[in-house]
Amino acid sequence: QRSRELIFKEIERIKTNFELREEEVKKLMSLRYRMGSYNLLNYNSQIFKMMVTWTIMQAYLEQLKKWEEEVTWRDHWSSKDIAELIKLQEKYAGNWAKIATQLGRHSLACKEKFNSLSLKVKRGEWTYQETGTLLELISKFGKNFALISKKMRNRSRIQIRDRVAYLEKTKLLKFDSRMEAKLC
């Protein structure tokens, strides 16, 4: 988490001031010499500074991408992780990026886990009434599972997505070319 914040600070420092540390200047001067552009650009030129900025920012962005891949998804949530998630949700009120940074997880993973913990979400078998409501909402909103979840209130987006997939697989529900639902 701290390394990510440092990278963002470095990017801001370079973007705003074209400030380079001495070791960065030495590396870039040797790189410039090896690239054969020694005579084309001097260190004070705006073009050189823009090239440097782009080069360094690319390196920092690559580091961010590696970091993101490392912490993106972890399947298991311990009870300690869940307690921390609930505490951070109360503190940051839905700022999933900030919560994810604190937990070292992907923001969508945090949001989905928190939503699955909701007391309103019903678990288990779907009733005929729920399936009927789902079919009505699908005919109105298509496969917008997030919106359908808000309208149904007692089923999560993932549960709705899975139920629609089940209904399609068992050939009880079919979507035409205009994404309109039809009962079979």
Task: List the domain boundaries for the chain.
Answer: 2-71, 79-117, 128-183
pLDDT tens track for 18-48: 555 666 666 655 655 555 544 444 545 555 5
Class of domain 79-117: mainly alpha
pLDDT tens track for 49-103: 666 666 666 666 666 666 555 554 556 788 888 889 889 988 888 788 888 888 8
Return mean pLDDT, the chain.
71
Write down the pTM of the prediction.
Answer: 0.40
Give me 14's structure tokens.
């370079």
Q: In CATH, what number does 128-183 get?
A: 1.10.10
Asked if 121 and 139 touch (Cβ cutoff 8 Å), the reply is no
pLDDT tens track for 110-154: 888 887 776 566 778 888 898 888 888 888 888 888 888 888 878
79-117 and 128-183: same fold? yes
Asked if 135 and 164 touch (Cβ cutoff 8 Å), the reply is no
Percent of the chain exceeding pLDDT 70 equals 50
Q: DSSP assignment of 19-80, as one string?
A: ---HHHHHHHHHHHHHHT-TTT--TT-HHHHHHHHHHHHHHHHHHHHHHHHHHS------HH
